[in-house]
């Protein structure tokens, strides 16, 4: 079975992270992924600290294996969220939308591993100098807030620029994606969209149905004019947003228009007026299945792909 430096660093069986998606990655999903040997991650998003503590306790009731929390550093609750992470001694945090540097000393003190998401080489170098433990290099194929570089060129450049482990994310779905990521120099992968269709994922069934019906070209990117591009499945909201952007609508108006739309989709099930954040790989997701089955499928697929390549090119 494939083992990497990431497995040793985190104490996990398989080098698979489940993306910390806001309003999607709850304690139920994270617990299932961690118990199955990957790293389950709670998406704190802009939720208050009490909500996060509740989700952490859900995991602790199910498994004693490592888990993580994704912290959105622009959250109005970020200070309280970090305090909960320290108090609960969360094994791993991943971060986005900022630099976690000011929190590193307090996190290191309780043994928390810090693994930011990066979309550029410059940020990767800066965060390595700040003392983080690893990095997630996320290409623009991913769902939600994205950068401007795709996974294939981003990952090897980040790998070459730093000496700490790099996890590849964006457009990864199965064992073939894992083998490709390893070939690029990554020590593991992070997957979000496929885990949205895990049985343990608590999002609306309407969102899962939308992902299952998605084709390869069904995602769109909106919000470039605001400086915060987002990849979603196309719907009524994205069409309205795109039209307003073409008309040169003030970015502040657009930001207000997008507020609360992720929860509207994921929790309330409004797949036309809500923001259905999803990666380009949605077109490959064909069924709803347990998180443990997803992880085993990826790992077994990677082993098969390595065997196939060895047979074809081995000497």
Give the CATH number of domain 5-202+287-313: 3.20.20.70
How far apart are the C-alpha atoms of 223 and 251, rounded to whole Å? 8
Q: Calculate the average pLDDT of the chain.
A: 94
Give helix 49-62 / helix 27-35 axis angle, nearest 10°: 30
Binned at pLDDT 50, 70 and 90, residue 272 comes out as: very high
Residue 226 has pLDDT above 90, yes or no: no
Check pLDDT > 70 for residue 315.
no
Q: Is residue 155 over pLDDT 90?
A: yes
Mean pLDDT value of segment 248-252? 87
Question: Which residues of the chain are in CATH 3.20.20.70 domains?
Answer: 5-202+287-313
Angle at 192 between CA 151 and CA 212, to 5 degrees: 110
pTM confidence score: 0.93
DSSP of 57-93: HHHHHH--S-EEEEEETT-TTHHHHHHHHHHTT-SEE
Q: What is the pLDDT of residue 314?
A: 72
The confidence score (pLDDT) of residue 129 equals 95
Q: Is the pLDDT of residue 108 over 90?
A: yes
The closest of 187, 205, 204, 119 to 158, measured between CA atoms, is: 119
Using CA atoms, how far apart are residues 77 and 305, in angstroms rounded to an integer? 44
* Residues 142-162 as b or e (16 or more Cβ within 10 Å = b): bbbbbbebbbeebbbbbbebb
Tell me the sheet residues that pair with 233.
Answer: 219
Query: According to the model, what pLDDT value does residue 228 have?
Result: 86
**Mean pLDDT across 86-108:** 93
**Residues 34-47 pLDDT 10s:** 999 999 999 999 89
């Amino acid at each position: 079975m494939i083992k990497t430096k990431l497995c040793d660093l985190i104490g996990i069986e398989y080098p698979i992270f489940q993306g910390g998606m806001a309003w999607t990655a709850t304690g139920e999903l994270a617990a299932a992924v961690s118990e199955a040997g990957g790293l389950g991650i709670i998406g704190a998003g802009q939720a208050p600290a009490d909500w996060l503590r509740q989700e952490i306790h859900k995991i602790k009731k199910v498994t004693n294996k490592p888990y993580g929390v994704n912290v959105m550093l622009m959250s109005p609750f970020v200070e309280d969220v970090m305090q909960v992470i320290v108090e609960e001694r969360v094994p791993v945090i991943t971060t986005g939308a900022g630099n976690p540097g000011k929190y590193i000393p307090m996190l290191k003190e309780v043994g928390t591993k810090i693994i930011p998401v990066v979309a550029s080489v410059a940020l990767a170098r800066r965060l390595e100098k700040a003392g983080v433990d690893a990095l997630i290099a996320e290409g623009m194929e991913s769902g939600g807030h994205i950068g401007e570089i795709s996974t294939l060129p981003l990952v090897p450049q980040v790998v070459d620029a730093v000496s700490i482990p790099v996890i590849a994310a964006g457009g990864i779905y199965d064992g073939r994606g894992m083998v490709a990521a390893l070939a690029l120099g990554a020590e593991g992968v992070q997957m979000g969209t496929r885990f949205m269709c895990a049985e343990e994922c608590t999002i609306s069934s309407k969102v899962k149905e939308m992902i299952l019906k998605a084709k390869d070209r069904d995602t769109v990117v909106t919000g470039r004019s605001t400086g915060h591009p987002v990849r979603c499945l196309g719907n009524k909201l994205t069409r309205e947003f795109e039209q307003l952007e073409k008309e040169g609508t003030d970015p502040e108006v657009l930001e207000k228009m997008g507020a609360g739309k992720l929860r509207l989709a994921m929790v309330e099930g409004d797949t036309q007026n809500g923001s259905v954040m999803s990666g380009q790989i949605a077109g490959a997701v064909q069924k709803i299945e347990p998180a443990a089955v997803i992880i085993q499928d990826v790992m077994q697929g990677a082993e098969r792909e390595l065997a196939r390549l060895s047979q074809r090119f081995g000497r």
